[in-house]
Amino acid sequence: MNNRSLSGRLLTAFFALLSAAWVAPVIVVLYNSFKTNDGIKSSLFSLPTADTFAGLDNFIKGITFGGYPFYNSVFYSLVITVLSVALILLCTSMAAWYISRVDSFLCRVVYYLCIFSMVVPFQMVMFTLSNTADRLSLNTPYTIPIIYLGFGAGLAVFLFTGFVKSIPLDVEEAAAIDGCTPLQTFFLVDVPIMKSTFISVGILQIMWIWNDYLLPYLVLDKTVYKTIPIHIQYLQGSYGQVDYGATMALIILCLLPIVIIYFLCQKHIIKGVLSGAVKG
């Protein structure tokens, strides 16, 4: 028993070290965001000193850096993510319910096409999709959610259908006998039962859309609309002079809300990941 607790302690010590190494990259970026550019260039890994401490300068500079206000990026990323996820949750849950309740030939075709779409790499439809989006004017943050609904439907329909199949029909029949229309049955009876699936699917889609780079990059007019990933890539790539301090400050600003949300809804996020992983 003594031996076992010793090995337990050793393991804890080992994982404490490993965890420290795991967060180190983020910590390095964090304290460098408070250093002057000279301080960053001369030695990335040393902590800020009196000479190299820049206070909040990098953050103030970062907000307007690259000739594009950072809060605009945050705004467009938020608009796209919120609208897309709301649309996906509403439409695909209804579609999934219909598919598993009616189960006609057409429904099966749609269902298997959805599963198929999950394997197809984005490069396959990259060019034609961005052209289609242009032609149908789905190229603004307010209309791009329709593209996300189409391209993200696969996983969402698959997960919702899996869950709807486990809802006993009796409940719905009781509602129908009491005079509910299918619409009422769905929203008043099924949606409350499906609450946890809504959260899981929602989290998976948020993680995808919030971080997505290529789709908005190809579809949106980049001079007007830059999402956060587009903005960060732009600062690194084509923008003439690279300002490490300002860019690191922006990275910290990106990470902050993600980390806070993660610690607040960790349970839901992990559950969402697990339900998403059942595919295959």
Residue 148 near residue 84 (C-beta atoms within 8 A): yes
Residue 221 near residue 33 (C-beta atoms within 8 A): no
How far apart CA 160 and CA 201 sit, in angstroms, is 8
Q: How far is the CB of 29 from another protein (least distance, A)?
A: 6
Q: Which residue lies nearer to another protein by CB, 173 or 221?
A: 173
Decide: is 158 part of the binding site for another protein (CB under 8 A): no
Decide: is 126 part of the binding site for another protein (CB under 8 A): yes
Residue 200 near residue 275 (C-beta atoms within 8 A): yes
Q: How far is the CB of 7 from another protein (least distance, A)?
A: 9
State the DSSP H helix or E strand holding residue 73, giving kind and residue range, or none if neither. Answer: helix 70-102
Report the residue from 47, 56, 102, 171 that binds another protein according to the rule CB under 8 A. 102
Decide: is 105 part of the binding site for another protein (CB under 8 A): no
Decide: is 15 part of the binding site for another protein (CB under 8 A): yes
Report the residue from 183, 195, 223, 240 that binds another protein according to the rule CB under 8 A. 183
By CB under 8 A, the count of residues binding another protein is 98
Q: How far is the CB of 216 from another protein (least distance, A)?
A: 11
Report the residue from 63, 86, 146, 167 that binds another protein according to the rule CB under 8 A. 146
Decide: is 251 part of the binding site for another protein (CB under 8 A): yes
Interacting span for another protein (CB under 8 A) from 56-64, 68-76, 171-179, 192-200 = 171-179
Q: Which of 31, 75, 36 is nearest to 58 (CA)?
A: 36
The torsion of the CA quartet 14, 16, 17, 20, rounded to 10 degrees, works out to 160
CA angle, residues 240, 241, 247, in degrees to nearest 5: 115
